[in-house]
Structure 1
Amino acid sequence: MQLDLFREDQPRKAPPPAPPATFRPALADLPPPPAPVTIAIPTRRQHQAAKPVPPASRPSRRSYEPFQRNPHQVAHDIAEAVQVAWYGAQGGSRIEIPVGVVAALALWPLRGPDAPLAAHWWLDLNDEDFLAALRECWARWWIQRPDLIDRATPLHRWLEDERPERTRMKAVRAVAHAALTRGMLHLTSAAPDFGGSCDADVLGAVVTVMRSHGAREALAEIHTPPELSELMARMLITDQPLTPGMKFDDPASGTGGLYRAAAQRMRELGLNPHDFGWAMTDIDPVAAAGAAVNAILWDLGPHVLVACADTLTEGDPYVRASTEWRESHARRDRMVEEARFLARIRRMDAILTGVA
């Protein structure tokens, strides 16, 4: 008997049903916070010939940390996504605006494993509430660290405009979307509390990527690779105990990448960066502003002084920076006292109105 393969009446196999479409939110591709897992070694496929092997002396299961991306590479990917989003939306040449948006998201006080969930909250805000959240974030940290937030003024001065133009607002939202969907809050929320997260310098990566090659040459800006900074920190900060009260000075700090590695190394040795002094100087106002924000993100402590100056011409810029530090704290104290006085007056008016 011979089969006719070309007959029209051959029964045809019905195609498999298409899988139902699933909804994928904007942040579905973000990895969850890493946690230790136990994974079994996969068994050999059945079609492969099994080869005799000697009996293993170890159990057939392993416990290890799941694969985690290099945080420095994540920071670089975020910076590239921010660059594409800003210039793709015709944001303009003021790179301090996208750097400021990334800085405000990094300063958001929610920390811990649930912090990345705030990304949905940020993305669902309308333009007015989004700007209000940025302003409140900067104001909150100004109350605590007026010296550093005043140094970071280039990153939040643009928020003084109550109604930014439509093109700029579109670019700002594009930057926030790019940073959040690439895992910005995963990167900056590694620590259970606010301080001590020194995994990467995302602001340094954004400044480096956003600035043009010509501008970097004009400022003599050379970005130290983070791996080299960590190697230098391990070589310079040995197991010998450091003396509390020691002060470090970086006259060309950029956004402070060397101090990130130093603080990370100190914590590995059981030291507290709060016990040391940190002085940073850079000629670029945007880089100095990034260093001030990083001092908060990396929790360097209360003894931080950031100057924006040319150390070759000014000599000792920390004299002026110390004066600015005192003025920032005095202005904060004065404004807080005025706010308390107004609150007492309003409370008294409410009492008198109720009595009348």
Structure 2
Amino acid sequence: MSTDTTAALVIEAVDQAHTHKAQNCTDPSCARHAGTTDCPPITVSRSPGSVLGEAVADAWYAAGGSRLDIPAGVVAALALWPQKSPGAEAADTIAAYIAAQPPRVLVRGLAESANYYWRLRPDLWTTARPLFDWTREDLHDTHLAGVQAVTRAALRHGVLQHTGDTDPAGRSRIDLLSWVITSLRHHHSRRSLGEYHTPPDVSALITAMLANDGSSEKRPHQRGEWALEPTAGTGGLFRSAAQELRRDGEDPADRGWVMLELDPLAAAGAAVNALVWELGPRAVVGCGDVLAQPDLAEDTLAQARDVARHRDDVMKMVRFAIATRTTKQLLDALTASR
């Protein structure tokens, strides 16, 4: 992150801290307060991933869209939506609120959903940026209409039901981003790219075989182990492995997960999934060619540490800026009262 970007982030964070402290925000572009209090309900069903992916692709291309990052990013931001509830019981209410937003307010809300995770996992957020950079653009009407159409299609087919559970096991039953990216690329001539993500059933079978080392007896897991996937895609194999650990009463966060992927969009999806599936603080995602970069795994781990240190430095700047501005306001108030 450049110095200018860091400075802008500090200023924005300070401004938001003061602007949004009150609950009566009147900024029409504020995604927190621009929604109506009586949002019309939408019909929601918990569709299979294949159905949701096709619905998203159909909505996007019907609206005249051609890029892949925007519709995939919409689903990723919805999957990351910070408001979770037990069993995703609040998903319908949240879906109605999101679906009611005007297009530009919707884009702002999706951006804030993704940016929420910068403080938590700046390394994964950085890898996921190809899915969210479009939120910083001045989108034209075709793209705005596409964003709204994709959002409503994903909500109707249950994106929040799949990813809105407070229990990470509930959020890990499916790899939505794999289905979405595959469907989008199928419409966009997937054959020319030669990309086929591993089907969930195959991932589960491979995981079970690896866990047992091909024997009939389950191999005991070792706390603190690391797992490496050099062709991770959006992380489907690790999703299955994490669910296997949970069924055995273990926490995937006790392990280290290193996912490497050549395609930036798929790597971004893996980074989002690592957050959605709650793989833990040692889950990292690197983007690059493992054949041309034999040290990619080590470089990815080092970069994660560097980005975390940079995040800590930026947060110190934010806290200092907020303290400075608050002190100035107090001094101005004291001066004015004399």
Smaller-chain TM-score range?
Answer: 0.7 to 0.9
Match of 1:279 in 2: 258
Equivalence for 1:331: 310
Q: Which amino acid aligns with 1:350?
A: Q
- TM-score of the superposition, structure 2-length normalised? 0.80
| Structure 2 gap ranges (5+) | 1-39, 213-217
Question: Which secondary structure state, in structure 1, belongs to the residue aligned with residue 228 of structure 2?
Answer: strand
Where do residues 182-331 of structure 1 align in structure 2 (5 Å cutoff)?
182-189=157-164, 191-193=165-167, 197-212=171-186, 216-217=190-191, 219-238=193-212, 239-331=218-310
Query: 2:140 is matched with which residue: 157, 162, 165?
Result: 165
Q: How many aligned residue pairs are there?
A: 288
Name the CA distance, whole Å, in 2 between partners of 1:283 and 1:232. 21
Indicate conservation of the 8 Å contact 1:85/1:171, yes or no.
Answer: yes
CA contact (8 A) 1:196 1:299 kept: no
Q: Secondary structure at the match of 2:285?
A: strand
- Find the partner of 1:27 among 24, 36, 42: 42
Q: Say whether 1:86 aligns with 2:60.
A: yes
Tell me how far 1:137 sits from its aligned partner. Answer: 1.1
Provide the residue aligned with 1:123 in structure 2. 99
1:87 offset after TM fit, Å? Answer: 0.5
Kindly state the Cα deviation for residue 111 of structure 1 after the two structures are TM-superposed.
Answer: 1.7
Q: Aligned AA for 1:301?
A: G
d(CA) in 2 for partners of 1:345 and 1:248?
A: 45
- Do structure 1's residue 152 and structure 2's residue 128 form an aligned pair? yes
Alignment CA distance shift 1:233-1:315 (3 Å): same
SS in 1 for 2:224: coil
How far apart are 1:218 and its partner, in Å? 5.4
- Equivalent position amino acid for 1:241 in 2: P
Tell me the distance in 1 between the aligned counterparts of 2:194 and 2:261. 11
Query: Matches of residues 173-188 of structure 1 in structure 2 within 5 Å?
Result: 173-188=148-163
Instruction: State the AA in 2 paired with 1:188.
Output: T
CA distance in 1, matches of 2:187, 2:53: 15
SS at match of 1:129: helix
Cα distance change, pair 214–102 in 1 and its aligned pair in 2 (3 A):
closer
Tell me what 1:46 maps to. Answer: none
- 1:187 Cα offset (Å): 1.4
Alpha-carbon distance in structure 2 between the residues aligned to 1:240 and 1:27? 47
Q: Would the aligned equivalents of 1:219 and 1:284 in 2 still touch at CA under 8 Å?
A: no
Q: Distance in 2 between the 1:249 and 1:192 partners?
A: 27
- Could you say which residue in structure 1 is the equivalent of 2:109? 133
Q: CA RMSD in A?
A: 1.9
Structure 2: how far apart are the matches of 1:151 and 1:296? 12
Check whether the contact 2:284–2:300 (CA below 8 A) recurs between aligned residues.
Answer: yes
The question of whether the paired residues in 2 share the 8 Å contact of 1:138 and 1:156 is answered with: yes
**Partner in structure 1 of residue 76 of structure 2:** 103
Larger displacement relative to structure 2 (329-338 or 141-150): 329-338
Deviation, 1:128, is 2.9
Same amino acid, percent of matched pairs: 39
Q: Which runs of 5+ in 1 are unaligned?
A: 1-24, 32-68
> For 2:149 and 2:140, how far apart are their aligned partners in 1?
14
> 2:21 maps to what in 1?
none
Q: Which letter does structure 1 place at the counterpart of 2:287?
A: C
Output the CA distance in 1 between the equivalents of 2:141 and 2:56.
Answer: 18
How far 1:217 moved relative to its partner? Answer: 4.8
Q: Which has the higher helix share?
A: 2
Cα offset, 1:306, TM superposition: 0.8
**Offset at residue 110 of structure 1 (A):** 1.7
2-side partners of 1:322 and 1:219: how far apart?
28
**How far has the Cα of 1:331 moved from its partner?**
2.4
SS in 2 for 1:141: coil
Distance 1:147 1:312, change over 3 A: same
Contact 2:169-2:246 at 8 Å conserved across structures: no
